[in-house]
């Protein structure tokens, strides 16, 4: 897939405020500071589309971008650590889950996991929850260039071992690096295949 146009559409506090459209939609979620904004910018080929920050919790709304006039990219609030109150974090989580359940044109979720650190319980819980709800998703390992590659590969294998205890068939895994653009062709090809099907 060649991305020729990217346009910001709207920031929505709730799923009911999201664009009324039947176009296929791909959502990006992950813990705060997982590198979600950097990955989105790398994927669409434009810096500054998704706002990056050294402070976790920058994304607080559901941000919609229209890609190639054919599909939506939804940037969801990060979960886990953020310098906000527990109540605010719970509100973010509740709104995000409501979006994932009720967004009828949601084609797939890209579940981002930081490959440079150990598998986090919050990530495990989110994966299990999406599985229980039957929400289609793939796992995207981020920050491949941020740590020793042997360590990252070990972390990925441990994630797979844990999930194999619960899943008959594992979700697809993609390993990415925003610095080297590793994984970009594979992710865009996957999106194309979903849209075409």
Give me the pLDDT at residue 89, please: 66
Per-residue pLDDT band for 11 (boundaries 50, 70, 90) equals very high
* Residue among 10, 160, 150 at smallest CA distance from 75: 10
Give the C-alpha separation, 177 to 4, whole Å: 22
Span 71-92, average pLDDT: 76
Give the C-alpha separation, 128 to 137, whole Å: 11
pLDDT greater than 50 at residue 97: yes
Other CB atoms within a 10 A radius of the CB of residue 104 amount to: 7
Span 157-186, average pLDDT: 94
Q: Where are the chain's structural domains?
A: 6-196
**For 98-150, what is each residue's pLDDT tens digit?**
999 999 999 999 999 999 999 999 999 999 999 999 999 999 999 988 777 88
pLDDT over 90 for what percent of the chain? 66
**For the domain 6-196, what is the CATH superfamily, name and number?**
P-loop containing nucleotide triphosphate hydrolases (3.40.50.300)
pLDDT greater than 90 at residue 47: no
Write the DSSP string, 74-96. Answer: EEPPPBS--SS-HHHHHHHHHHH
Pairing state between β 62-67 and 25-30: unpaired
pLDDT over 70 for what percent of the chain? 91
* Residue among 144, 96, 149, 151 at smallest CA distance from 122: 96
pLDDT greater than 90 at residue 183: yes
Per the model's pLDDT, the better-predicted residue between 192 and 2 turns out to be: 192
* Residue among 25, 68, 27, 69 at smallest CA distance from 50: 27
**For 150-160, what is each residue's pLDDT tens digit?**
888 899 999 99
Give me the pLDDT at residue 83, please: 62
Give the C-alpha separation, 3 to 143, whole Å: 23
**For 67-77, what is each residue's pLDDT tens digit?**
999 999 999 98
Model-level pTM greater than 0.85? yes
């Amino acid at each position: 897939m060649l991305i020729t146009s990217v346009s910001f559409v709207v920031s929505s506090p709730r799923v009911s405020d999201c664009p009324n459209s039947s176009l296929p939609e791909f959502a990006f979620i992950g813990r705060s500071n997982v590198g979600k904004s950097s990955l989105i910018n790398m994927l669409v080929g434009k810096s500054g589309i998704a706002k990056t920050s050294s402070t976790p919790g920058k994304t607080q709304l559901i941000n919609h971008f229209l890609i190639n006039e054919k599909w939506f990219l939804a940037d969801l609030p990060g979960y886990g650590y953020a310098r906000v109150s527990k109540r605010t974090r719970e509100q973010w989580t509740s709104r995000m889950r409501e979006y994932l359940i009720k967004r009828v044109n949601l084609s797939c979720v890209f579940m981002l996991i930081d490959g440079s650190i150990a598998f986090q319980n919050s990530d495990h819980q989110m994966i299990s929850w999406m599985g229980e709800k039957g929400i289609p998703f793939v796992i995207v390992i981020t920050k491949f260039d941020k740590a020793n590659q042997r360590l990252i590969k070990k972390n990925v294998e441990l994630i797979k071992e844990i999930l194999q205890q619960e899943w008959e068939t594992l979700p697809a895994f993609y390993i990415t690096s925003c610095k080297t653009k590793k994984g970009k062709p594979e992710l865009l090809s996957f999106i194309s295949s979903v849209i075409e099907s």
